[in-house]
Amino acid sequence: MTTASRNLESVQATETFGAEIGRRLRIGDTVALRGTLGAGKTTLARGIMHGLGFDAEVPSPSFAIVQQYEPPETRLPIAHVDFYRIEDPREIVELGLDEILQFGAMIAEWPEHHPDFPWTNGLQIEMKIKPDDTRLLTWQAGPAWKDRWPPT
């Protein structure tokens, strides 16, 4: 498990960092995005989507809970999930995450609302709002990311 952090000075820097992740993403991967409201999780997810080749607007999944994308719009099938509004674990079963990860990858906001999931196998990212309004991003890359991470 490798841990490191970097400062993201702007929305653009966050999206560029996300795109680095998107270019490296493989089927079965999970990217867990932690951080308070407005920390920049959806902004980072937009960058990941662009790195996967998606060139249209990426809506926040906070109301839909899951947004799914497939080739040819993206390089591989991807689900962008926001667990914020999940209150009952039975709602998670209905999302069909196992099947999603069999064929594609998953970006997850508010993974702490799904604590039973093995997030440590994937890439885990935490974003913090600094007093100057830039963002501090910390990552932990699990075994599945060996030889793929960090970005150079």
What's CA 117's distance to the chain center, in Å?
A: 14
Using DSSP, state whether 48 is helix, strand or coil.
helix
Residue 124 as a binder of ligand ATP (CB under 6 A): the answer is no
Tracing tokens 């906001």 back to the chain, one arrives at 109
**Number of continuous H segments (helices) and E segments (strands) in the chain:** 4, 7
Among 38, 71, 96, 150, the residue binding ligand ATP under the rule CB under 6 A is 38
Give 7's strand partners: 136
Residue 40 as a binder of ligand ATP (CB under 6 A): the answer is yes
Minimum gap (Å) between residue 138 Cβ and ligand ATP: 14
Minimum gap (Å) between residue 146 Cβ and Mg ion: 28
Residue 50 as a binder of ligand ATP (CB under 6 A): the answer is no
Burial zone of 109 (CB within 10 Å; 0-12 exposed, 13-18 middle, 19+ buried): buried
Identify residues 81-110 at the interface with Mg ion (CB under 5 A): 109
Q: Which does 14 bind (CB under 5 to 8 A by kind): ligand ATP, Mg ion, none?
A: ligand ATP
Residues that bind Mg ion (CB under 5 A): 41-42, 60, 109
